[in-house]
Structure 1
Amino acid sequence: MQNPTSSTNINKNTLPRVIKLGIDVHASTYVVVIKVDSSAPARAKKMKPEKFLRWVHELRGQCEELHSCYEAGPFGYSLHRKLSAMGVNNYVIRPINWDTHGQKVKTDARDAYQMALALDGYLRGNDRSFTVVRVPSEAEEHKRSLTRLRQTFVKERARSAKRGLSMGLYYERPLPSGWWKPLNWAKLIEELDEFIILLLEPLRASCQHFDQLLKDVEAQMAQLEPQAQLPKGMGMVLYEQIEREICDWNRFENRTQISSYTGLCPSEDTSANRRFQGSINKHGNRRLRHMLVESVWLLIRWNPGYVAIAKWQSRLDSAKATKASRKKIVVAIARQFAVDWWRVRTGQVTAESLGLAMKIAN
């Protein structure tokens, strides 16, 4: 095998101290750019995953420190764990648009090159070179994957149900929202033409299939923490989804970090004496964001004593409140609830001190 550092201008009699790798990961190939000490990044290499791991293993014995980074994506964290096991200090980073100058040229080699430069800057102390993604433990990852699978089933059931609604409208026979459920379907069989029933039957079977898969997954989730304490109005499934998306509440050191992670903070455009705050930046975990908003709608109904809700209750009940303004208020409460629930889960405050009525999950 070719010497891993032969393409860089270094003294072959002296081992490099620090080597940095920028890796653009794909299913069948990895594109890698190597940067040795303070030298310029070398030309990109394309390798099969097996060859890459052998190359890294050899490279690790030829330097004092070996660092690498790659973007989080559909391939999970298995590569990170393999690199860490070999003694590589690897970072999984948030995906970035590396075309910062708007050249409209994007290649794997360019991405890997920019990652190598960003990694070099990060190691030199520029913690804004990229955002490091927390790698969950395998147990946390398995639990989270189960709840995400449930979300997939919800979407698939909704997709089939909407196709049925569309079919009914096409033939001028509007259907109820839960048309595929047993009671509604029994009535529709008597009212609809045979041809429409023939079209709807496969969609109904699809809805029922995913509905059963949902129940099976939710049953598994409910068995893990049957005695969990949760706010009144929040179901066990929603509680578990939030817990599994967060993985570990102690990962956040302050309220700013948890707020930022939700993506519910307002966007901002400030210059000189001008300041403008717009809609939420959505810079965070989108799944968690939707769960928090759903939680707040439930808390408004079942937990009105919660301090964040009490603060906004008069505006929520106002006759002048529009649908859009209520949504904005719910988003503000959701951001506050994320912070407050973090404080509760880390033992900083009690739920009762925040006005949250609690219950024990069945």
Structure 2
Amino acid sequence: MPERQSHDQTAIRTDLGAIFVSLELSRSTWLITSLSPGAGEKLSKHSIQAGDIAALLARFAQLQQKASARLDKLFPIIAIQEAGLDGFWIHRILESEAVESHVVDAASILTSRRRRQAKTDRIDGETLVRTLLAYKRGEPRVCSMVRPPTADEEDRRRVCRERKTLLAERIQHTNRIKGLLCAQGVFDYDPLLRNRRARLDDLQTGDGRPLPTRLKAQISRELDRIELLIAQLKIVEAERDALLEPAGETAPTPAVMLAQLKGIGSQIATILWSEALYRHFDNRRQVAAYAGLAPTPWKSGSIDHEQGVSKAGNPRLRTTMIQVAWLWTRHQPSSALSLWFQERVQRNGGRMRTSTIVALARKLLVAFWKYVSSGVVIEGAVLQTA
């Protein structure tokens, strides 16, 4: 009986007609876990040095040779890896070598719900292989595969992300200067004004003394960093604005179309384009789910209530859309979506504004998607004046 069960399982693997491989990546070593046709349920594990693509491809060739010797047939490689620190460069190399490669969202993989969950690279590698098997069999909701962007699409996202990082650093140094001066009784100094250097020389403490020498030197060095960040912000913003320039007679990009709407600036338009609207979506549910703005039900027996939005999507896109929703009610008050928001809030007696603005953000994102992909005009929306 056990022999028959092993034969049946082997037949299932052979019918799938491929060698299934998972890559468990770290900074020091890569663990290659594989399941080959004709080998039953036995999983093979092999470690190589991190970043050694030649050794990885050699291991793939070795797996193909062994499977071919057993069954006299050449089997393709199907690989899977988790989306993480290594990005998508390994995925691109595998595809260039005619390897079917998949990148999975690690948070979507089903795991044990026991109190203490065992976790090792060995266990993770086996889990990835079995997840890939289930995915190729067509099992629904077994995991969520990531759609890797192209190299150009990935590089385009750097502009808005770098600007956000630079702004955070500028705020950090500005707050540090204000905190140092607050301890001396100075409360009206703004490090971002153009006369910051001259103003610093004239400052006095709350008890009428000149600023201490070492404190003044420290603040001066902080101003050096702020001025460097201001210069870098100007460069990044110039690159961002260049993305919004129309390219001759070709069709306008989604960012250009969005920037024409009143209340949508160049920064928001570029974020929406680079983070979401460059992708293909089949329906509005996919659009809302990608932003993490889809509702999450909780139904069991007589229990039936909503848990709010899933927050499982792109956090940058979700944060931006919440900001856009508030701006939309201010700059597009006569649009159909703003009227819907106002009517909904009035019906609730002014309550639940936060949850309603999230619903408006979801509706707006779907409207933007229809606008840039199919040219569907947003009802009541006003374009910016030249």
TM-score interval, normalised by the smaller of the two chains: 0.7 to 0.9
What amino acid is the match of 1:243?
W
Structure index of larger Rg? 2
What amino acid is the match of 2:193?
K
Alpha-carbon distance in 1 for matches of 2:348, 2:194: 39
- Could you report, residue by residue, the CA deviation over 1:185-213 in whole angstroms, capped at 9, with x for unpaired residues? 64454234423433322222222222221
User: CA 1:348–1:226 in 2, change beyond 3 Å: closer, same or farther?
Assistant: closer
1:54 maps to 2:29: no
User: CA 1:189–1:319 in 2, change beyond 3 Å: closer, same or farther?
Assistant: farther
Question: Mapping of 1:206-285 within 5 angstroms?
Answer: 206-227=225-246, 228-229=256-257, 230=259, 231-246=261-276, 248-249=278-279, 251-285=280-314
Instruction: Name the TM-score, length of structure 2 as normaliser.
Output: 0.80
Alpha-carbon distance in 2 for matches of 1:319, 1:87: 57
1:110 maps to 2:137: no
Alpha-carbon distance in 2 for matches of 1:279, 1:186: 52
What amino acid is the match of 1:212?
A
> Larger deviation: 260-269 or 95-104?
95-104
Q: Which has the higher contact order (CA 8 A, sep 6+)?
A: 1
Identity %: 23
- Secondary structure, in 3 states, of the residue corresponding to 2:267? helix
- Secondary structure, in 3 states, of the residue corresponding to 2:144? coil
Question: Mapping of 1:12-51 within 5 angstroms?
Answer: 17-37=17-37, 39-48=40-49, 49-50=51-52, 51=55
Which runs of 5 or more structure 2 residues have no equivalent in the other structure? 1-8, 69-73, 205-209, 247-255
Q: RMSD of the alignment, in Å?
A: 3.0
Paired residue for 2:146, among 120, 126, 133?
A: 133
Aligned-pair CA distance for 1:221:
1.6
Instruction: Name the TM-score, length of structure 1 as normaliser.
Output: 0.85
1:201 maps to 2:212: no
1:338 maps to 2:338: no
Aligned to 1:356: 381
Aligned to 2:207: none
Question: Mapping of 1:101-180 within 5 angstroms?
Answer: 101-102=113-114, 103-175=116-188, 178-180=190-192
Aligned-pair CA distance for 1:317:
8.1
Paired residue for 1:100, among 109, 112, 115?
A: 112
User: CA 1:256–1:233 in 2, change beyond 3 Å: closer, same or farther?
Assistant: same
- Secondary structure, in 3 states, of the residue corresponding to 2:384? strand
Contact 2:36 2:63 in 1 (8 A): no
Aligned to 1:306: 335
- Secondary structure, in 3 states, of the residue corresponding to 2:365? helix
Aligned length: 345
User: CA 1:170–1:22 in 2, change beyond 3 Å: closer, same or farther?
Assistant: farther
Alpha-carbon distance in 2 for matches of 1:202, 1:240: 33
> Larger deviation: 140-149 or 89-98?
89-98
Paired residue for 1:68, among 68, 75, 79?
A: 79
Which runs of 5 or more structure 1 residues have no equivalent in the other structure? 1-8
Alpha-carbon distance in 2 for matches of 1:224, 1:26: 35
Aligned to 2:95: 84
